[in-house]
Structure 1
Amino acid sequence: MSAAPAAPRVSASVMTHPVRRPQAEELAAWLGVGNLAVDPAPDAGPSALRTALVAWGQAAPDATHHLMVQDDVAAPAALLDLVTRAAARFPEDALVFYTNWHARNGALSRLAALAGAAWVRGVPQEFTPTLAVCLPVDMAARYREFGGRSSDRHDDEVLSAFLRPGGRMALLAVPNVAEHTGTSSINGHASQGVRKAACPVDEATARPLLADGPVLERPDWLPYMRNGEGFLQLSWGTGPSAHVPWREALAQTGLTEEALRELEASHRPAGAVREVADAFGARYAEELWLHALLLGAQARAVEARLDGAAAGPELERLRERAVSTLGLASLPAEQRPGVTPGQAALLTEYAWSAIHCGRDLLSWAEPARRG
């Protein structure tokens, strides 16, 4: 009988800039992280990559994996334990524990949550979120060498460029146990507005899902929103991918706009439509509902193909949290800060009406579910 594989040993770093050193030290103490990776040239202009390369060089000599956490993160004190258990389950993968709510990877995480998956393979054409990411140490060393040759300052873009040629993007933890704090950005992302996790949950909810929940490698197509407009991701190759409006790409999903419009006319809740349109515009009210309709239909199709599915109260909490960010994240960045709690609840209820409709009434219309 072969011996059981050795348990992973995870070292960790918190990366920071000198102006944020106090908060980085506080976070490192909270997480029990011994390494602080400080920007080695803070006066040379913003560069997340420059500091990330320092962090990836701090792996302990006996470590099998290294975790890098950015200083503007909130996470449970047990993060290292969660990461270690995840590394034991997926020892050869890059693992991501935060996904931006307004990005395609955030939309992919919501789809995975609704379908009953706990992990999902990242979108090749997009940056890989690096607020809380773990790499096997040999991969970290190769990435550090690769990044050292790059002129880019965005470590998340460079990590995707590193992973793409191998055809194996990072595994995204669908339950996000790390959360972004604040809106400032040393690396120039403040224009993106409020940036939060797509599927934020607590440790108790995440732990069983991360341990046993199924993996979604990729869907056939992905509905997502940017700045109040709906799009579809159809290509999963390594080349660039334009943002294609859903109306232009819908035929390739096997669905028809006629089917969507019929359900919109008969099932879109009139009272909520007026409230959403009054607050955020009629075009946004239409785009959000049709996007959520497609999301519900695709979630049902993906769920039917998953090898097993998560279940229980943890999954239901994950789904609720995933949909709670959908409306907010789909708004243009300048509108997000002004959204009241009541409006956020309205957007969530409105999105659910379309998701349920898509799952129950639209998914049956898909003539062929490709593998």
Structure 2
Amino acid sequence: MTAVPRISASVMTHPVRRAQAEELAAHLGVGNVAVDPRPDEGPSALRTALVAWGQAAPDATHHLMVQDDVAAPAALLDLVARAVARFPEEALVFYTNWHARNGALTRLAALAGAGWVRGVPQEFTPTLAVCLPVGLVTEYRRFAGRSEDRHDDEVLSAFLRPRGRMALLAVPGVVEHIGTSSINGHAAQGVRRAACPLGEADARPLLAGGWVLERPDWLPYMRNGEGFLQLSWAPEPAGHLPWREALPHTGLTERALSALERAHRPADTAAEVGRRFGARYADELWLHGLLLGAQAAATARRQGGGAAGPEHERLRTSAVSTLGVASLPAERRPEVTPDRAALLADYAWSAIRCGSLLLSDAGRRG
């Protein structure tokens, strides 16, 4: 008989944001606030995270650590407990950055119909809201205590990577990052939000019953306005491979993509995106959408058709709503007003829906 999970939790903070952390802790019903013990020594998320992980209750089976600069539903602990009951041995992440490879992975998973996805081994593990089994907490604290890195998200990946099991990322994002300031030096990354934000009511069934995407054979993603493909899931670091260089490994051809672009890219919308954000960005975003649509459809087909239902459709809509703004360089994200966000989403959808055509033999032959 599986033991009933017992979750303890902490909100980690810096003295300058302690009031904010205490307000969040009260909202979530969290009893612990972990404060940087040596704030005068310079910023270190890891130093504070070690305090937070050290607050695991003696009788807890799992410990949740939440950072102070997030918004989350009051029922977060209940959502976490239910997820832990389903995946008792896993590291679970409830927020994924919209501009990272893990964010691209959750978008792919959302479009394919999954509720959870295994994280990318080559990059950081988001730690704005993460839950670990207490046995793993003990090992992680021992490991992290020897690190000279100040970024706890990088250290958590370094800890999980050799184990061959990165964290499971919740595809619907019930936790949202707020603000653009960063005590730990991430302000240069600009506006940072969840890749697939979703309300609690819609997220609950997806987290409870959504299937797990362990690993796609390739992952399209964008960074700083350009498209890339990830082909390797080995633990070793991997550079950013432009999609044109990687495309032969996908079974698709540039000729096929170009033919679809000529036939189906909406000219007026493309011109407007190009006018607002540059012609090269308009080209890259649409071709990225083709690849994303093709891979999502292929992944859903392998799973037996993906998933259907109003909450799944809202998740897919949410995933695409963040794609355009997140794929821009950080300094350009503030330009994305609501009307421009809608423009980018409509444009991305035109490519994603077209991408399913790439699954045909004719599309693959080019």
TM-score by length of structure 1 reads 0.97
Secondary structure, counterpart of 1:134 in structure 2: strand
8 A contact 1:109–1:120 mirrored in 2:
yes
**Counterpart check, 1:228 vs 2:225:** yes
Q: Deviations over 1:37-74 (max 9, x none)?
A: 00000010110000000000100011000000000000
1:134 to 122, 128, 131: 131
Contact 1:65 1:137 in 2 (8 A): yes
The secondary structure found in structure 2 opposite 1:61 is coil
Deviation, 1:307, is 6.2
Pairwise CA distance, 1:310: 3.1
Query: Deviation per CA, 1:72-130, whole angstroms, max 9, x where unpaired?
Result: 00000000000000000000000000000000000000000000100000000010000
Instruction: Give the residue type in structure 1 aligned to 2:142.
Output: E
Following the alignment from structure 2 to structure 1, what is the Cα–Cα distance between the partners of residues 230 and 168? 18
- The number of equivalent residue pairs is 364
Gap change, CA 1:239 and 1:301, over 3 Å in 2: same
Could you tell me which amino acid in structure 2 is paired with residue 113 of structure 1?
Answer: A
1:241-276 per-residue CA deviation (whole Å, 9 max, x = no partner) reads 000000000000000000000001110001101110
* Equivalence for 2:359: 363
**2:214 is the alignment partner of 1:217:** yes
| Matched residue SS, 1:176 | coil
Q: Distance in 1 between matches of 2:135 and 2:102?
A: 25
Matched, 1:125 2:134: no
Percent identity between the aligned chains?
Answer: 78
1:322 aligns with 2:305: no
TM-fit CA distance, 1:339: 1.2
Aligned residues of 1:143 and 1:162 also touching (Cα < 8 A) = yes
Deviation string 1:144-179 (CA, Å, 9 cap, x unpaired) is 110000010000000000000010000000001000
Aligned partners of 2:305, 2:166: CA distance in 1, in Å? 22
Q: How far did 1:305 drift? A: 1.6
CA distance in 2, matches of 1:308, 1:32: 39
Change in CA separation of 1:307 and 1:268 when aligned onto 2, cut-off 3 Å: closer
User: Is the Cα contact below 8 Å between 2:358 and 2:364 reproduced in 1?
Assistant: no
Letter in 2 for 1:116: G
8 Å Cα contact 2:118-2:167 kept in structure 1: yes
1:98 pairs with 2:99: no
- Counterpart of 1:247? 244
Q: In structure 2, do the counterparts of structure 1 residues 352 and 78 end up closer, same or farther at CA, with 3 Å as the change threshold?
A: same
- The structural deviation recorded for 1:311 is 2.4
Q: CA deviation at 1:308?
A: 7.0
Which of 32, 36, 39 pairs up with 2:33? 36
Residue by residue over 1:274-302, the C-alpha shift from the partner in whole angstroms, topping out at 9 and shown as x without a partner, is 11000000000000000011000000111
The answer for the alignment partner of 1:85 in structure 2 is: 82
Question: 8 Å contact 1:214–1:307 — kept in the other structure?
Answer: no
Whole-Å separation in 2 of the counterparts to 1:151 and 1:257: 44
Deviation at 1:338, TM superposition (A): 1.7
Q: SS of the counterpart of 1:325?
A: helix
Unmatched runs of 5 consecutive residues or more in structure 2: none
The SS at the match of 1:186 is coil
Q: Residues of 1 paired with 2:48 and 2:109: CA distance? A: 32
Counterpart Cα distance in 1 of 2:359 and 2:16 = 51
1:17 partnered with 2:14: yes
Q: 1 CA distance for matches of 2:354 and 2:10? A: 45
User: SS in structure 2 opposite 1:355?
Assistant: helix
Aligned to 2:274: 277
- Aligned equivalents of 1:246, 1:214: Cα separation in 2: 28
Looking at structure 1, the residues matched to 297 and 305 of structure 2 have their Cα atoms a distance apart, in angstroms, of 13
Aligned partner of residue 208 in structure 2, secondary structure: helix
Q: Distance in 2 between matches of 1:22 and 1:364?
A: 56
Q: How far did 1:7 drift? A: 1.2
User: Counterparts of 2:149 and 2:6 in 1: how far apart (Å)?
Assistant: 31
TM-score of the two chains, using structure 2 as the length reference: 0.98
Q: Is the 8 A contact 1:327 1:351 kept in 2?
A: yes
Query: Hey, what does 1:47 align to over in structure 2?
Result: 44
For the residues of structure 2 that align with 1:118 and 1:139, how far apart are their CA atoms?
23
Q: Deviations over 1:175-215 (max 9, x none)?
A: 01000000000000000000000000000010000000000
How far the C-alpha of 1:367 sits from its partner, in A, is 5.9
Preserved CA contact (<8 Å) 1:231 1:243: yes
Counterpart of 1:336, as a letter, is: R
Q: Does the CA-based 8 Å contact 1:65-1:135 persist in structure 2?
A: yes
- Determine if the alignment matches structure 1 residue 175 to structure 2 residue 172: yes
Q: Distance in 2 between matches of 1:88 and 1:7?
A: 7
